[in-house]
Amino acid sequence: MTKKPVIGITASYVKHNHYMEGVYVHQDYHKAIVASGGIPLVLPVSTKEMAIHYLAMCDGIIMSGGEDVDPQFYQQDPHQKLGFIFPERDEVELALIQACLDENKPLLGICRGLQILNVALGGTLIQDLPSQVPTSMQHVQTIPRPRSFHSVTIEKNSHLHTIFEKERVRVNSLHHQAIDTLATELKAVAFAGDGIIEAVEHVSKKAWAVQWHPESMFSTSKDMQKLFQTFVQTCQ
């Protein structure tokens, strides 16, 4: 029997009431991994020191979506429109990203995952697109999560173009933050119509990230199925 790769998925925290609280990650992530031939392993927020132990159990890492990145980690003060932050999660994920890059294990960042990857490598973020970039288009869609909302243009000389085999794809959109200053170790490989960076790739490591949520489009989009399948195969 061929051993399936174990894919770690970073998680956040939710509290429904006094009796129900704990680890949270959207079910679309683990469904997409299972359908692509991997074994999902949810990684709860813990300590920075746990990052290397998490990584030792995994063949690849998905940095999942969620709350805003705390601007202290890219040396800025909070904007008035900054959303909910979870600094403890940021600390663990920053340590996990560094460990993942050091060992060159495959890493896929999704939405917030793209943003925290950029921050981990020295980049900065736009804390609130509507107020800080008023010329930007709407990036928080008003239709169900699995449906596409806008197009992105993909650079030809990129890993993403190799996966999709096309220069434009339709994506969903659920973010109000975005990359501002791009980290020097990353290259931008996809853009929205307003110029916002929608995907990045590391210049030398097996790490790439997208601003949209491919896991939620997985059941209906062959493009997003290719993205997950390629990632899981890379982790094999």
Residue positions annotated with a catalytic role: 111, 213, 215
Helix axes 27-35, 222-235, angle to 10 degrees: 70
Give the SS3 label for residue 180: coil
How far is Cα 37 from Cα 150, in angstroms, rounded to an integer?
29
How far is Cα 36 from Cα 131, in angstroms, rounded to an integer?
39
Task: Tokens for 131, please give them.
Answer: 């107020």
Helix and strand tally (H, E) in the chain?
A: 8, 13
How far is Cα 151 from Cα 168, in angstroms, rounded to an integer?
6
